[in-house]
């Protein structure tokens, strides 16, 4: 078969900051907190990428929370946020809306902060 018939598949770019350098937004957030490092900025970019969901509403809520409140969370709350991002969209949306509550106390507390 000819390569003209089947061109190579396109490579998908990594989200901004995933290639090694933190994104401009991550650098800005890191500069606001003097003790943050480039590693923290890359972690922030990864989290921002994970906030991209199948539901636009969740995209908006999670990215806003990440941008406005994540830096002020304790380490335990930041870990809980990562756990929250592993939850399927329909369940997570039910938590955010308040029609269901997470079984773990740490996730319930974090969801209540996200709802505010």
- CATH code: domain of residue 85: 1.10.150.250
User: Residue 96 sits in which domain range?
Assistant: 54-116
31 within some domain: yes
Residue-wise pLDDT tens digits, 22-80: 566 555 555 555 445 667 778 888 989 999 988 899 999 999 999 999 989 999 999 99
> What's the rounded Cα separation, in Å, for the pair 46 and 115?
22
Same domain for 75 and 106, yes or no, is yes
In the chain, the number of structural domains is 2
Max avg pLDDT among 15-19, 20-24, 35-39, 85-89: 85-89
The reply to whether 59 and 112 lie within a common domain is yes
C-alpha–C-alpha distance, residues 64 and 60, integer Å:
6
pTM: 0.66
**Residue 54, number of CB atoms within 10 A of its CB:** 10
**Could you tell me which of 106, 25, 34, 37 has the C-alpha nearest to residue 68?**
25
Do residue 65 and residue 44 come from a single domain? no
Q: What confidence score (pLDDT) does residue 4 get?
A: 47
6 pLDDT above the threshold of 50: no
**Quick one: DSSP state of residue 88?**
-
Q: Quick one: pLDDT band at residue 89, thresholds 50, 70, 90? A: very high
Highest mean pLDDT among 11-15, 44-48, 101-105 belongs to 101-105
**72 shares its domain with 60:** yes
| 29 Cβ contact partners less than 8 Å away, ≥ 6 residues apart | 36, 41, 44, 67, 71
Q: CA quadruple 18, 23, 25, 29: dihedral positive or negative?
A: positive
């Amino acid at each position: 078969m000819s390569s003209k018939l089947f061109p190579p598949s396109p490579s998908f770019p990594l989200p901004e900051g995933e290639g090694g350098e933190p994104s401009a937004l991550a650098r800005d957030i890191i500069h606001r907190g003097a003790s943050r490092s480039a590693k923290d900025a890359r972690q922030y970019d990864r989290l921002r990428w994970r906030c991209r969901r199948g539901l636009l509403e969740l995209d908006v809520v999670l990215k806003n929370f990440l941008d406005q409140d994540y830096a002020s969370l304790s380490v335990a709350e930041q870990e809980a946020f990562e756990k929250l991002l592993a939850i399927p969209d329909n369940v997570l949306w039910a938590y955010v809306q308040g029609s269901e509550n997470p079984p773990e106390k740490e996730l319930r507390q974090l969801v209540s902060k996200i709802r505010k």
